[in-house]
Amino acid sequence: MAFELNKVDENRKIFLSNISHDIKTPLTNINGFLEAMKDGTIKKEDYEKYIDILSNETKRLINFTKEIITINTLYENEVIICYDKFEINTLIKDVLKIFEGRIRNKNITFNLVFAEKETYVYADRDKIYRVIYNIIDNAIKFCNDGKGICIETTIEDKKVRISIIDEGIGLAEKNLKDVWKRFYKLDESRGTEKNSFGLGLYIVKQIIDAHEENISVQSKEGEWTKFDFTVRKFL
HSE, side-chain direction, 13 A CA sphere, residue 62: 6
- CA–CA separation, 75 vs 153, rounded Å? 30
Q: Where are the domains of the chain?
A: 2-75, 84-233
The DSSP bridge pattern shows strands 109-113 and 148-156 to be parallel
Q: What is the pLDDT of residues 100-135, one digit of tens each?
A: 888 988 999 999 999 999 999 999 998 899 899 889
Question: How confident is residue 143, by pLDDT bands cut at 50, 70 and 90?
Answer: very high
Residue 28 has pLDDT above 60, yes or no: yes
Q: Which is more confident, 30 or 83?
A: 83
Question: How confident is residue 74, by pLDDT bands cut at 50, 70 and 90?
Answer: low
pLDDT of residue 202: 83
Question: How confident is residue 21, by pLDDT bands cut at 50, 70 and 90?
Answer: low
What share of the chain has pLDDT > 90, as a percent?
Answer: 40
- CA–CA separation, 176 vs 57, rounded Å? 29
Residue 217 has pLDDT above 70, yes or no: yes
Enter the CATH code of domain 84-233.
Answer: 3.30.565.10
Which class would CATH give 2-75? mainly alpha
Alpha helices in 110-215 (DSSP H): 125-142, 187-190, 200-210
| Average pLDDT across the chain, whole number | 82
- CA–CA separation, 184 vs 63, rounded Å? 17
Residue 212 has pLDDT above 70, yes or no: yes
- CA–CA separation, 178 vs 54, rounded Å? 31
Q: What is the pLDDT of residues 164-202, one digit of tens each?
A: 999 998 988 888 888 888 666 655 444 444 455 467 788
Domain 2-75 matches domain 84-233 at the CATH topology level: no
- CA–CA separation, 45 vs 49, rounded Å? 9
pLDDT of residue 190: 42
